[in-house]
Amino acid sequence: MLRNYTEVVVAEVFDSVLREEIKQNPDLCDCQRCREDVMAVALNRLPPRYVARGLGEVYTKASFDQVGGKAQIIAALMHGFKLVGQSPRHKKDPTS
């Protein structure tokens, strides 16, 4: 079983970037669907780094370096939040 390490590190910094983005744009939707859309946009902009299961722990310490650095991951996520924030794929639910 292969794991895309980029996905692991994107998930790792997702919430901290979300908190910052919500300060800029309080209307930002953080439902599961939008989260996955943002993550997909970010992952498509970052190089994948596949590791075989079991090797994950070895790569943990170097994870950000493995995928081009933390700044690059944050930039890709910010781009995702911007795109999804501008055109979420669902109507805003007034009850949520």
Which is closer to Zn ion, CB of 53 or CB of 91?
91
Task: In angstroms, give the least distance from the CB of 90 to Zn ion.
Answer: 6
Q: Which of 15, 24, 25, 31 binds Zn ion (CB under 5 A)?
A: 31
Specify whether the CB–CB gap between 39 and 11 falls below 8 A: yes
Report the residue from 9, 10, 29, 46 that binds Zn ion according to the rule CB under 5 A. 29
Rounded Cα gap, residues 48 and 67, in angstroms? 7
Instruction: Tell me how far, at minimum, the Cβ of 32 lies from Zn ion, in Å.
Output: 8
With a CB cutoff of 8 Å and minimum separation 6, the contacts of 43 are: 4, 6, 7, 10, 76
34 near Zn ion, judged by CB under 5 A: yes
Residue 19 contacts by C-beta under 8 Å, 6 or more apart in sequence? Answer: none
Q: How many CB atoms lie within 10 A of CB 71?
A: 9
Please identify, using beta-carbon distances, which residue of 8 and 28 lies nearer to Zn ion. 28
Regarding 38 and contact with Zn ion (CB under 5 A), the answer is: no
For Zn ion, the binding residues (CB under 5 A) are 29, 31, 34
